Structures are given as C-alpha cells and as structure tokens.
C-alpha cells in the first residue's frame, strides 16, 4: 500500500500508526478532520513523532474536501468520522479508491444505530462486507472495492 486516506483524524493516533507502516514503502497518508481542536492536536502529535513528511492533514468537512482531493487513487480508505455521515463518506470516497483497494470502517458495532442508513445502503446495493469484532462491544468493517459495483 502506498496511498491511504483517513476520514476522521481525531488526535492522530491511527494516522501515526498507519504512517509507521507507510514509511517502510514510501507511502503517503491524507487525513481529513472537521474538529479544529482535534485537527490541531493531530498536527502536533504527528510533528512530535516525525511523521509530518508522510501525513497531509486537512482541516475541513470531508463532504466538501473529498471532491477537491488531488489524489484519485487510494489503496485504502479508513472511515472513522461522524457515524451518521458514514454513508456520505463512503459514497464520496468510493471513486477515489482503486479497484481491489479496501475500506476499513471503524466502530461499526458500537455505533450501528447511528449508521443505520449505511447498513441499509449495503443491503440495498448487495455490497459484500466483513465485520471483525475487535473488543467486547465493537469492531471494524472491511469492504473491498469491486469494479462491477455501481455506487
């Protein structure tokens, strides 16, 4: 993997961990967050650990920022933003994911009620997905981009 996109930076913890893996193969990370305090904290945390050469942080609403991204071929997209907007994030970022690339969507068990429109969308479009439980009350979802899927 060379190019990753994250929607929902928060304090930058996941960004940093993904950048550690990316450093080994010369990859780049783009991350978008709408909360100014979170964005500022992430900027400082990423500078502190020396990952600011790999990570590009964008402050703004992902709904507005996603269509403006210059990179149009991400290998992985990590969605961890506002849960009720997951369907919007997914639909807007889907064209940015290369065929065979994959989504990781966080907090899909704990916040499933807030993501009900996304779950309905997956069912309606017959989108194959896997949910992996990661602790007692939560998990992540993985979706591999299928070129035959019409989003």
pLDDT digits (tens, 9 = 90+) for 128-145: 999 999 988 899 999 999
Q: What is the separation, in whole angstroms, between the first and last Cα of the chain? A: 23
Position 71 scores a pLDDT of 81
Q: Which tens digits make up the pLDDT trace of 35-56? A: 999 999 999 999 999 999 999 9
Position 54 scores a pLDDT of 95
Structure tokens at 147: 């070129």
Q: Which tens digits make up the pLDDT trace of 53-112? A: 999 999 999 999 999 998 889 999 999 999 999 999 999 999 999 999 999 999 999 999
Position 3 scores a pLDDT of 94
Q: How confident is the model at residue 147 (pLDDT cuts 50, 70, 90)?
A: confident
Q: Domain 3-144, what architecture? A: 3-Layer(aba) Sandwich (3.40)
Position 70 scores a pLDDT of 87
- Is the pLDDT reported for residue 1 higher than 90? no
Residues 6+ apart with CB under 8 A from 97: 73, 74, 75, 76, 77, 103, 145
Determine contact, residues 44/130, Cβ cutoff 8 Å: no
Determine contact, residues 98/73, Cβ cutoff 8 Å: yes
Position 9 scores a pLDDT of 94
Determine contact, residues 5/23, Cβ cutoff 8 Å: no
Q: What is this structure's pTM?
A: 0.94
Position 149 scores a pLDDT of 72
Position 136 scores a pLDDT of 87
């Amino acid at each position: 993997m060379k190019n990753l996109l994250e929607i929902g930076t928060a304090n930058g913890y996941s960004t940093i961990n993904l950048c550690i893996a990316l450093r080994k193969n010369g990859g780049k990370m783009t991350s978008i967050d709408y909360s100014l305090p979170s964005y500022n904290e992430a900027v400082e945390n990423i500078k502190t650990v020396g990952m600011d050469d790999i990570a590009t942080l964008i402050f703004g609403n992902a709904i507005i920022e996603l269509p403006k991204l210059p990179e149009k071929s991400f290998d992985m997209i990590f969605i961890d933003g506002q849960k009720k907007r997951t369907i919007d994030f997914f639909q807007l970022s889907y064209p940015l994911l290369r065929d065979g690339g994959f989504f990781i969507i966080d907090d899909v068990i704990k916040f499933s009620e807030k993501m009900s429109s996304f779950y309905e969308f997956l069912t309606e479009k017959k989108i194959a997905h896997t949910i992996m439980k990661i602790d007692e009350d939560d998990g992540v979802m993985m979706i591999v981009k299928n070129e035959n899927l019409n989003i």
